[in-house]
Chains A and B, each alone.
Chain A
Amino acid sequence: MGNRTPLFDKHEVLGAKIVDFGGWDMPINYGSQIEEHHAVRADAGVFDVSHMTTVELHGSEVPAFLDRLLANDFSRMTRPGQAMYSAMLREDGGVLDDLIVYDTGEPYLMVMNCATREKDLSWMNQVATDFDCTIRERDDLAILAVQGPNALEKVAATISDVQAKAMSELKLFQGTWTENWFIARTGYTGEKGVEVILPEAEAPAFWDRLLDADVKPIGLGARDTLRLEAGMNLYGSDMDETVTPFESNMANTVFLEGRDFIGADALRKRQSDRQLVGLVIPGKGVLRAHYTVYSNGKEVGEITSGAFSPTLQQGIALARVSETSSSMTVEIRGKHNEVTCVEPPFVRHGKQVYKEKPN
């Protein structure tokens, strides 16, 4: 038996198919992954993401610590509670993890992946020894993500008036503590929505109120196709310690100028022609991770994440390649299939948005 979130019993009652995910027993779907996907694009869905690692950063030198730890520049945050998405790098520029840190003031709040938890905490503790900064894990919190065009209205009806008012004042990518809950306008779907971090004991009742408000429960299967359509990377699939953020379509989260974060020197020196691009297959067929990608008949890389896009009704993928062209193919079961190279995202707010990548 793996770790269980405070909502495990709720998932079982709903008939969820439970799988192991990074040591956690998590719902992969509650019946139909595709129906769950469409529910988020068309209305609202709730994801139990309590398996993710939440930490607080205490001390007088947290901003200096983050400036050293992260490739993104925390000093650029201007609004209270603003969320910053960043890679955390090794000295050689390889990506240790991607995470979100909120500019809440002390203690600062950070959320990162569950599969990398031990590695992350040990790395951060090591870096923190040079600063007045203490890392405290908050494993007493649950996280529910509520996403979809109607998510904000439906959440507002299930929380207190004070919390609803606090939520209504948030801008995109901003979070705030309100009555012991942290509510942030962040997500992993490309839709409107919030991520709510709350005490474990209060999570089951909040979950029930959301379902009563006709918010659909969504498993990790749909979470993966939703994030892929939104062009968002999955750590461990689309990037890992062997690649840099520049090779992972994350250049817009790296601020090198005048900075001395871990990995900055390596990024300045490291030359690479590898890039993470989007692929779509015009015909029938599903693109999947590790399929080989060709450009002008030459092998140029492989798919890192692929799926059938329920919104676009076609195969889409992220692929790391050393070359792009107008003549690209993917090998599926021994046959070359033409694909189009595009710039992610594929879908935003339920609509196709990708454009063919200029060559």
Chain B
Amino acid sequence: MAEFPKELKYLATHEWAKLEDGVVVVGISDHAQDALGDVVFVELPEVDATCSAGDEVAVVESVKAASDIYAPVSGTVTEVNSNLEDSPELVNESPYVDGWFFKITPDDPSALDDLLSAADYQAVCEEDH
């Protein structure tokens, strides 16, 4: 059974986001990594790139498919998880901790409030079945 941590916010496209010291950390959900299967390659955004909410900013390639990763909020990319370059399997093994993708300094931190709660996102996943 996939995990849906309550302290996170989610997109219907299966990203999670968390505000941490004024910065939004972004990754993909446990449900998403399970559906994708083994992740083999992650294409990360450039540090200092600016993005708008909904932009395709990264790509995750699994044994099954290539999937776009969307920015949950508008802002500037301040850090990427370079561990994923050599260890893409972290996305499968630890989707909510070691497998994070990138961090965005948001233009407006309150934009996070517009994202899905864990319960709402879980409902989206169940509808997919």
Could you tell me which A residues sit within 8 Å of B by CB distance? 28-29, 32-34, 221, 225, 284-286, 288, 307-308, 333
- Is A286 in contact with B61, judged by CB distance below 8 angstroms? yes
- A and B contact pairs by CB, cutoff 8 A, 20 listed: A28-B37, A32-B92, A33-B37, A33-B38, A33-B63, A34-B40, A34-B63, A34-B89, A221-B37, A284-B41, A285-B41, A286-B41, A286-B61, A286-B66, A288-B65, A288-B66, A307-B63, A308-B40, A308-B61, A308-B63
Q: Which of chain A's residues have a CB closer than 8 A to the CB of B64?
A: 221
Docked Cα-Cα span, A333 to B64, in Å, equals 16
Docked Cα-Cα span, A225 to B43, in Å, equals 22
By CB atoms of chain A within 10 A, which of B37, B59, B65 has the most?
B37
Docked Cα-Cα span, A225 to B92, in Å, equals 19
- Is B63 in contact with A333, judged by CB distance below 8 angstroms? no
- Is A221 in contact with B63, judged by CB distance below 8 angstroms? yes
Identify which of residues 27-70 in chain B touch chain A, using a CB-to-CB cut-off of 8 Å. Answer: 37-38, 40-41, 43, 59, 61, 63-66
Query: Could you count the A-B residue pairs with CB atoms below 8 Å apart for me: how many are there?
Result: 33
Q: Which of chain B's residues have a CB closer than 8 A to the CB of A308?
A: 40-41, 61, 63
Q: Which A-chain residue is minimally distant from B34 (CB atoms)?
A: A17
Q: Which of chain B's residues have a CB closer than 8 A to the CB of A34?
A: 38, 40, 63, 89
**CB proximity of A31 to chain B, nearest CB, Å:** 9
By CB atoms of chain A within 10 A, which of B40, B41, B59, B66 has the most?
B40
- Is B41 in contact with A225, judged by CB distance below 8 angstroms? no
Docked Cα-Cα span, A308 to B61, in Å, equals 9
Docked Cα-Cα span, A307 to B41, in Å, equals 12
Docked Cα-Cα span, A286 to B43, in Å, equals 11
Q: Which of chain B's residues have a CB closer than 8 A to the CB of A286?
A: 40-41, 61, 66
**CB proximity of A134 to chain B, nearest CB, Å:** 42
